Amino acid sequence: METLTFKLEEFEGPLDLLLYLVSKNKMNLYEVAILDLIDQYTALIDTLATGRLEVASEFIEMAARLVQMKSFLLLPRSEEAERMKEELTGQLIEYSACKEIAKKMGEAAARTFAAVREPMQMEFDNTYTLKHEPFLLEQAWNALMGRGLRRAQPNQERFEPLVTAPFVSVASRVVHVLRSLVTGKVSRLRSLFPKQDSRSQTVATFLAVLELVRAGRVTIGDDETLSVRRGYAKAQES
């Protein structure tokens, strides 16, 4: 191999330098003479001037890795050497492919015409030219300030259903549920909620069932079957 001179600044990293050595020595990237490549790389790193560790640190790290690989390669049938060799070869192949793609993209960008100018100064007229009826402007302002709902005057029709609705207590529905179960009028949960019941009755009945279940007086089966504890059933019958 010929003697090479180079500057680290010319390469983007140790893989770039290794790829350069492969190309310079006309090696097949898929069948690299790994020992020759290691020897030349480490020889070049040894000739670096001192005091440039901030530039050469990653190159020196690769040199240490290659020296370790060489020590394994000199051993007979070293699995670790084969693994390290395959890993390095794969990295060189991937790096070579990336450089080729980057080169093609650079050439494509160079062929693309791009004209750049400073942005033009635009003058904006913020004058509002639309016309609206006064009440629409008032509604928009009230909505913006959150006053729309507060200023709406409630009428009597809104309160009529609340005032005239009959009050149904939960206690009365507890008695109703227990008597219905004891007398056998209902046996399933859904039977307690007929469609003709008012909303107040439905809510009160639901709360009554929850209270009875919580107190352990009524149990609900997986098939919605309702049953009353025996002691409570006798109390209701009496």
Q: Are residues 84 and 175 in the same domain?
A: no
**For residue 3, is it within any domain?**
no
Q: Are residues 34 and 105 in the same domain?
A: yes
pLDDT attached to residue 1: 44
Q: Are residues 80 and 15 in the same domain?
A: yes
Among the residue ranges 50-54, 112-116, 126-130, 161-165, the one predicted with the least confidence is 50-54
Q: Are residues 105 and 17 in the same domain?
A: yes
Whole-angstrom Cα distance, residue 35 to residue 29? 14
**For residue 124, is it within any domain?**
no
Q: Are residues 16 and 101 in the same domain?
A: yes
pLDDT attached to residue 219: 85
Query: For residue 201, what pLDDT band results from cuts at 50, 70 and 90?
Result: confident
Check: CB of residue 227 under 8 Å from CB of residue 221: yes
Q: Are residues 13 and 83 in the same domain?
A: yes
**For residue 29, is it within any domain?**
yes
SS3 content of the chain, % helix, strand, coil (to 5): 60, 5, 35
Is the per-residue pLDDT at 17 higher than 60?
yes
pLDDT digits (tens, 9 = 90+) for 122-181: 888 888 888 888 888 888 888 877 655 555 566 666 666 655 667 778 888 888 888 888
**For residue 121, is it within any domain?**
no
Domain of residue 182: give its range: 166-237
Is the per-residue pLDDT at 188 higher than 80?
yes
pLDDT attached to residue 129: 83
Q: Which of 110, 129, 155 is the last residue of a domain?
A: 110
Token pair for residue 131?
């016309």
- The mean pLDDT of the chain is 78
Is the per-residue pLDDT at 238 higher than 80?
no
The total number of structural domains in the chain stands at 2
pLDDT attached to residue 20: 83
Check: CB of residue 44 under 8 Å from CB of residue 66: no
pLDDT attached to residue 164: 64
pLDDT attached to residue 226: 81
pLDDT digits (tens, 9 = 90+) for 58-92: 788 888 888 888 888 888 888 888 888 888 888 88
**For residue 158, is it within any domain?**
no
pLDDT attached to residue 9: 62
**For residue 132, is it within any domain?**
no
CATH code of the domain containing 210: 1.10.10.10
Whole-angstrom Cα distance, residue 128 to residue 25? 75
Q: Which of 110, 136, 153 is the last residue of a domain?
A: 110
Q: Are residues 13 and 99 in the same domain?
A: yes
Q: What CA–CA distances, in Å, run from 189 to 177, 178, 218, 224, 226?
A: 10, 12, 11, 5, 6
**For residue 61, is it within any domain?**
yes
Whole-angstrom Cα distance, residue 18 to residue 1? 14
Q: Which of 90, 110, 130 is the last residue of a domain?
A: 110
